[in-house]
Amino acid sequence: MTAIQAMVLLGTLLCSLVAGVLFTFAIVVMPGIAKLDDGSFLRAFQAIDRVIQNNQPVFLFVWLGSALALIAAAVTSVWELGGTDRLLAIGAALVYVFGVQLPTATINVPLNNQLQKLDIGTMSEEARQRARMDFEPRWNRWNAIRTACSISASIALLLLLLRL
């Protein structure tokens, strides 16, 4: 196995795991907690997010490793691959970094952090409702974008693996 094959294989695995997490949030987690009242919804999301923010090591390895592996594969592809193969490697990395990692860092994580600061027990029902409406639609919209981009990048990487 060559270095580029190893990087693409690792990137495919990690990117696909991230796609699975985002997809699960989109079709199971968020629709499930959406059925809760405002206070329960906010508390549930805080609890879920706290697991991630407590530097869960496997999650961190998959999340950060996916980006690093895709960037490494894209850079290496400039020298080792040509034509469609190079385009698939670079395209997957660009879609993943700009469609998954960047929105996560600039939109979803700041929304999560804002939610973590709330003391839900001391908030009025109106304040809980407003907090949820400020959070849920935007978070879900950007999670759908991240999901689509991570799945697209995974498909591009799978196609590349078939060609290597």
Q: Cα separation of 77 and 91, whole Å?
A: 11
Q: Cα separation of 160 and 9, whole Å?
A: 9
Q: Over 80: is that where the pLDDT of 81 sits?
A: yes
| Confidence at residue 54, expressed as pLDDT on a 0 to 100 scale | 87
Give the model's confidence band at 19: pLDDT under 50 very low, under 70 low, under 90 confident, else very high: very high
The half-sphere exposure of 14 on its side-chain side, counting CA atoms within 13 A, is 25
| Confidence at residue 117, expressed as pLDDT on a 0 to 100 scale | 96
What tokens does 130 get?
């407003």
| Confidence at residue 21, expressed as pLDDT on a 0 to 100 scale | 96
pLDDT digits (tens, 9 = 90+) for 41-79: 999 999 999 998 887 899 999 999 999 999 999 999 999
Q: Cα separation of 52 and 62, whole Å?
A: 12
| Confidence at residue 77, expressed as pLDDT on a 0 to 100 scale | 92
| Confidence at residue 56, expressed as pLDDT on a 0 to 100 scale | 85
pLDDT digits (tens, 9 = 90+) for 22-46: 999 999 999 999 999 999 999 999 9
Give the model's confidence band at 1: pLDDT under 50 very low, under 70 low, under 90 confident, else very high: confident
pLDDT digits (tens, 9 = 90+) for 117-142: 999 999 999 999 999 999 999 999 99
| Confidence at residue 95, expressed as pLDDT on a 0 to 100 scale | 98
| Confidence at residue 55, expressed as pLDDT on a 0 to 100 scale | 77
Helix axes 83-96 and 57-80, enclosed angle (nearest 10): 150
The 3-state secondary structure of the chain, one letter per residue: CCHHHHHHHHHHHHHHHHHHHHHHHHHHHHHHHHCCCHHHHHHHHHHHHHHHHCCCHHHHHHHHHHHHHHHHHHHHHHHHCCHHHHHHHHHHHHHHHHHHHHHHHHHHHHHHHHHHCCCHHHCCHHHHHHHHHHHHHHHHHHHHHHHHHHHHHHHHHHHHHHHC
| Confidence at residue 20, expressed as pLDDT on a 0 to 100 scale | 98
